[in-house]
Structure 1
Amino acid sequence: ELMPREEGERVFAPVVDVYETDQELVVKAELPGVKKENVEVTIRDNALHIRGEKKEEKEEKTETYHRVERVYGKFERVIPLPTDVKVEAAKAEFKDGVLEIRIPKAESSKEKKIEIS
């Protein structure tokens, strides 16, 4: 699910929520400090792929850092889709550092009540 670059290296890994409604599957990923143009979303092999890069802020100042906890670099999350979806109808929105992807469920994955005669 996470694609680490090298053993022991800290990797930026967006945290995600995945939930479904009667009509759609929704994935929300937190991407603080990532620009929309540095994110790519694809669906293939019944999985959602979110990849991109969190670029380090380049400053020309001569600060002396005492602590560095923020992580930068390329990332990829692969989220298996728990149900069949209509890939061609997927939509994504990026707002306030949160990527929200909405994918309508395929007809076959919607629940249908069957009347007993």
Structure 2
Amino acid sequence: MADLSKWAPSDMLEPVRRFLDGDLTMASTIKVEQFQDGNTLVVRAEVPGIDPDKDVDVSVSEGMLHIRAEREEKTEHKSKTGYRSEFRYGSFLRSIALPAGAKEEDITASYKDGVLEVRAPAPVAAPGEPTKKIRVDRA
């Protein structure tokens, strides 16, 4: 059993702080915002503390955008009375429907300041394209 007499009161409150920050366990989803910028779907995913070259995978399949990230975090606390080490890790996945007609080769992704931004342009419908009326039959 751990000797709690070597822990400071702030050490005992650390799990509570992480829980209130939504950080106690790694969630299986990524916080995202999505919006339209003209004809482009913009998805911004909050993924701080990762290396975009090796920890993020952005893919497209069956009209869906998939964002997968893995994160590992380690902290160490050293003091005269003891040593404490914590680590947290997990993988995250978020899938979002792409706009109709979006092409995989037109989708771009960038990472800056802990935010992954994915842009998926949708083709613009040709102006004056005739609308085809569908007949409704009575059953």
**Over the residues paired in the alignment, what is the CA RMSD in angstroms?**
2.9
2:58 to 41, 53, 56: 41
Instruction: State the structure with bigger RCO (CA 8 A, min sep 6), 1 or 2.
Output: 1
* Partners of 1:55 and 1:72 within 8 A in 2: yes
Shift of 1:82: 4.2
User: Could you say which residue in structure 1 is the equivalent of 2:13?
Assistant: none
Aligned residues: 101
User: Could you say which residue in structure 2 is the equivalent of 1:4?
Assistant: none
Of Structure 1 and Structure 2, which has the larger fraction of its residues in helix? 2
> Which has the greater radius of gyration?
2
* Partners of 2:72 and 2:88 within 8 A in 1: no
Distance in 1 of aligned mates of 2:69 and 2:29:
10
* Partners of 1:12 and 1:71 within 8 A in 2: no
User: Could you say which residue in structure 2 is the equivalent of 1:81?
Assistant: 98
**What does residue range 1-117 of structure 1 map to in structure 2 within 5 Å?**
10-36=26-52, 37-57=54-74, 59=76, 61=78, 62-63=83-84, 72-107=89-124, 110=125, 112=127
- Give the TM-score taking structure 1 as reference length: 0.69
Return 5+ residue gaps in structure 1 as ranges: 1-8
Distance in 2 of aligned mates of 1:88 and 1:41:
13
Cα 1:52–1:14 shift into 2, 3 Å: same
- Give the TM-score taking structure 2 as reference length: 0.60
Percent identity over the alignment is 36
* Partners of 1:56 and 1:73 within 8 A in 2: no
Return 5+ residue gaps in structure 2 as ranges: 1-24, 131-139
Cα 1:86–1:12 shift into 2, 3 Å: same
Of Structure 1 and Structure 2, which has the larger fraction of its residues in strand? 2
Cα 1:35–1:64 shift into 2, 3 Å: closer
